Amino acid sequence: MSSFGSTILRFDTVSSTNDVARDLAASGKPEGLCVVAREQTAGRGRQGRSWSSPPGEGLYCSTIIRPGIKAAESAVITLAAAVAVAETLKLDFQVPVDIKWPNDILASGRKISGILVESAIEGGRLQYAVIGIGVNVAQRSFAGEIGETATSVSLETGRTLAPEDFLKPLLKRLGHWCAIGATQHMEVISRWEELSSYARDCAVRINAADGFKEGVTRGLTPQGALILELNNGETRAFVSGEVSLRRVDLAAQGGLTQPCY
């Protein structure tokens, strides 16, 4: 996918870059086209959550891909995007990061990036997907409650950066991992597990459709679902659309004692 970033459309203000990229994808625009905005007025994340998008402080971009995979395999796109963002932060900007399943990128325990993948499916196959990525780059502070849960590249590194500084290395890594994900799902999953402390032996609580579940993570399935060994010994796989997840200290509750590493 060397075409990633060969066409970049820049906007001052949009509702969300995913909205623009999705319309372009539906009209037949090619894989690799990237939409970047200085500001989003209605940026959003997973499960309808809003994404703070102050002008000129974060990278807000969406990229079209056409991987030609089955709809049932589409979770690998989200995992590939998470790996790309995490590697860009870690290897290109020296920010120690973690991935909270499936695609929240954390630094110092705070959210530094979010990913939203939206796709079109026909006949059981993915026609296209839009990978929306928001990265907190230049923020020196965050207003209100978000200040307790968010961080930025500038805050983590002490460097003065512009959002565009992050775009080129990100697109390179995104193209690389999306290409691998189209044919070698397990390589993406293996790399995701390497980068995430949540992947294995981590005590978590999941808010699933049938209530709260607690247990210890045991990696991902080949389809990207999170495997959880529940307190009752049952093993169950959860898909990302079903749950919200948080780390817990089960030992303090007299439950399982395996630590998160």
In a shared domain, residues 167 and 223: no
pLDDT band, very low/low/confident/very high, at 178 (cuts 50, 70, 90): very high
Say what the pTM is.
0.90
Residues with Cβ within 8 Å of residue 58, at least 6 apart in sequence: 52, 134, 135, 136, 137, 138, 139, 152, 163
In a shared domain, residues 134 and 224: no
In a shared domain, residues 87 and 111: yes
In a shared domain, residues 150 and 34: yes
* Longest Cα separation, the chain: 56
Q: What is the DSSP letter of 88?
A: I
226-258 pLDDT tens trace:
999 998 899 999 987 656 677 876 555 554 444
In a shared domain, residues 212 and 163: no
Query: Containing domain of residue 53, as a range?
Result: 8-195
For the chain, give the number of residues: 261
Can you state the angle between helices 185-195 and 75-87, rounded to 10 degrees? 50
Which CATH number do you get for residue 133? 3.30.930.10
Phi, psi of 103 (to 5 degrees): -155, 20
**Cis bond leading into 67, ω under 30°?**
no
33-92 pLDDT tens trace:
999 999 988 765 554 555 556 777 899 999 999 998 999 899 999 999 999 999 999 999
What CA–CA distance (Å, rounded) separates 175 from 123? 25
Domain ends where: 179, 195, 211? 195
In a shared domain, residues 185 and 217: no
How many structural domains comprise the chain?
2
